[in-house]
Structure 1
Amino acid sequence: MTTTSSGGGSEHPTADREIVISRTISAPRELVFEAYTQVRHLSRWWGPEGFSTTTRSFEFRVGGIWDFVMHGPDGTDYQEWITWREIVPPERIALLHGESRDDPNAFESVLAFEPIGDETRIVMRTVFPTKELRDEAVEKYHAIEGGEQTLGNLAAYVAELTRNDTGRNETTPNGAES
C-alpha cells in the first residue's frame, strides 16, 4: 500500500538528497486534493501519529503561505512554514517547506495526485538542499516513517469523509433521503 524510496540511486542528480513516499488512497483525486489543500481539513490529519497542528495563517495560492505549529506527542512544538510554488488542481502541488520564511535549510516537495480508477495515488517527492540535511531528516526526525504516517492519516481522514458523505446520501426506511 505504501512505497518509499530514500534516494541513493545515481539515475537522478538529486537522488542522494531526496525522499519519495507514495500511497494509494481509496477516494477520488478531487477529494484527496481538497483534503490536502483546505485548512479546514488539514488540522484533522496533518502530521505523524500523535502530532497535532495549529494553523496561524493559511493562504492556498501560488506565493501564499501556510504558517503553522506541529505539536509533538512529547509536548515539543515545531515551527513550520510552507510557501506554495505551483498549484495545478487536482494534479500537482509544489512547495517550499522550512521552519520560517527565510530558512536556508528549507526543502522542496512536489506532490502528484494520480487517478487510478476510483482511487488516488499520491506521490510526495522531497528534495533537500544537501545530502547531509536529507540524512539528518531521515535519522533524527524519522522523515520516512513520519511521511508514511502522515499519508496514512490522510487516507484514514478521507475514508471518514467518504463514509460520512455516503451516509448522508442513503435512503431511510420510509423512502426519504437522509
Structure 2
Amino acid sequence: MAEARQDARSETVTADREIVISRVIDAPRELVFEAFTEVRHLSRWWGPEGFTTTTRSFAFREGGEWDFVLHGPDGTDYSEWIRWLRIAPPERIALLHGETRDDPNAFESVLTFTPDGAATRIVMHTVFPTKELRDEAVEKYHAIEGGRQTLGNLAAYVTDLARKEVEG
C-alpha cells in the first residue's frame, strides 16, 4: 500500500513534464522489441512520417549509445543521441535522449512492451527535465504527433516483418 502511495506521488510530481504515447501493434512482443535492438531495423522506421535516419554509431547494450541524424522532409538535419540506460528483453527499455552526449536538456524515456493477445502494446513514457522543455517539445517540435507517427512507422514495419515471417 505504501508503494502505491509512493507511485501516485511520483506520478503527480512529474505529470506536467511527461508525454505518454501508446499503440497496439499486430506482431509478437519479441519482434517488436527486436525492432529497437538492431540498427538494421531502427534505420528503416525511426522518426515521424517523411523523416529518414542515418546512423553514425550504434551499440545496443546498457551504457551503449546510438548517435544518428534525422533528416526532415524539408531537408533539415537533426543531430540526435541516445544512451541505453536499462534493457530488460523483451519487456522494457529505458533511455536518455538528447541532441548530443552532453545535452543538458536530454530527456528520459521508458518503453514497455506488453503482450496483448497475439499483438503487443508498446507504451513510450517520456519525462523531460522541466515543464518548459516538455511544452517546447510539444509546441515547437510536435512531440506528441511525432511520437504517434514514429510508433505508426514501427507498427507498419513490424507488421510487414511478421507477415513475411509467416509467409516464409
With structure 2 as the length reference, what TM-score do the two structures score? 0.93
User: Residues 37-56 of structure 1: matches in 2 within 5 Å?
Assistant: 37-56=37-56
Amino acid at match of 2:114: E
Q: Distance in 2 between matches of 1:157 and 1:54?
A: 17
Match runs of 1:52-71 below 5 Å: 52-71=52-71
> What runs of 5+ residues in structure 1 fail to find an aligned partner?
1-9, 169-178
SS state at 2:125 partner: strand
For 2:146 and 2:24, the matched residues in 1 are separated by: 17
Runs of 4+ displaced beyond 2 Å: none
Q: Match of 2:73?
A: 73
CA distances 1:73-115 after superposition (whole Å, capped 9, x unpaired)? 0000000000000000000000000000000000000000011
Letter in 2 for 1:50: G
Cross-structure match for 2:35:
35
Structure 2 CA distance for aligned equivalents of residues 162 and 148 of structure 1: 21
The 5 A counterparts of 1:73-112 are 73-112=73-112
SS, match of residue 47 in structure 1: coil
- Quick one: which amino acid aligns to residue 136 of structure 2? E
Pairwise CA distance, 1:12: 2.0
Q: Provide the alpha-carbon RMSD of the alignment.
A: 1.0
- 2-structure distance, mates of 1:23, 1:75: 29
Residue 151 of structure 2: aligned partner: 151
Greater helix fraction, Structure 1 or Structure 2: 2
Give the TM-score taking structure 1 as reference length: 0.88
Give 3-state SS (helix, strand or coil) of 2:70's partner.
Answer: strand
- CA distance in 2 between counterparts of 1:66 and 1:12 reads 31
